[in-house]
Structure 1
Amino acid sequence: MPREPDVLIDYYKAIEDSSLKMLEAARAKDWDGVVRYESACAVLIEQLRYEAQAQDLPPEQRKEKTRIMQRILRNDAQIRCLAEPWLAQVEHMFEGQSQMVH
C-alpha cells in the first residue's frame, strides 16, 4: 500500500503541536495537562519511529523538519524552566513525608 509523502512531516508537526500545548499547560501551571500532552507526544514519537522505518523524509522537507525540531527543543527548554519550581516543591513534600515515617 503506497504511503502519503507527507506522513512523516505531519508527525513532526503533530509532535510540535503537542509540545506547544504542553508549554501552554505549563504556563498555566496545569501539570496534569502537561502530563497528558507529554503522553500524546510519546505516542506520536513511537508512531513516527515506526513510519520512518518504511520511508525516508523527502529532501525538500528536511529543512522544515529541522525548523520544527528547533521549535520543539525551545518549547521543551521553556517547559523545564517552568516545571523546576513545581518539581522542587513536590520533592520537598516527599522529603517531609519520608521524615515523618522514620
Structure 2
Amino acid sequence: MTTDLLTYYEAIEQASADMLNAARTGNWDEVVKLEGACVLLISQLKQAAHQQALAPDDARRKTRIMQRILLNDAEIRNLAEPWIDDLGHLIGTSATVVH
C-alpha cells in the first residue's frame, strides 16, 4: 500500500523535472502550469499520507526523491531570478513614472 504513497512522490518529482526543463527553455507559462499540477499532487499526497505510513525502505526512497525535487526547485529558482529581477525593474520604473 505504501507504493501508492510513493507514486505521489514520484509524480511530484516528474512534474518538478518537467518544470525544470520548461524553465531551462524559458517556457514560464509551462512552469506555472506544472506548478499548479504539483499543488494538486501535493494536496492528494497529504490526504494519502494521513491514511498510510511508509515502511523504512520506502521512507529512504522518499528522502532521495525529495532531495532531487529540492535540487530541481533550486535550479528553477536560479533560472527565474534574472526574470524576477527584470520584472522588479519594470515595476520599479513604472512606479517611478507614475509618481
Tell whether the structures are fold-level matches, with TM greater than 0.5.
yes
Length-normalised TM-score, structure 1: 0.92
Give unpaired runs (5+ residues) of structure 2.
none
**Counterpart of 1:28 in structure 2: which amino acid?**
T
Task: Check if 1:71 corresponds to 2:95.
Answer: no
Q: Report the TM-score, using the length of structure 2 for normalisation.
A: 0.94
Confirm or deny that 1:80 pairs with 2:77. yes
State which of 91, 95, 98 in structure 1 corresponds to 2:92: 95
For residues 25-44 of structure 1, what are the structure 2 equivalents within 5 Å? 25-44=22-41
Identity %: 49
- The RMSD of aligned alpha carbons is 1.0
Q: Higher helix proportion, which one? A: 2
Distance (whole Å) between structure 1 residues aligned to residue 7 and residue 70 of structure 2: 17
Partner of 1:62: 59
**2:87 is matched by which residue type in structure 1?**
V
User: After the TM superposition, which parts of structure 1 deviate over 4 Å for at least 4 consecutive aligned residues?
Assistant: none
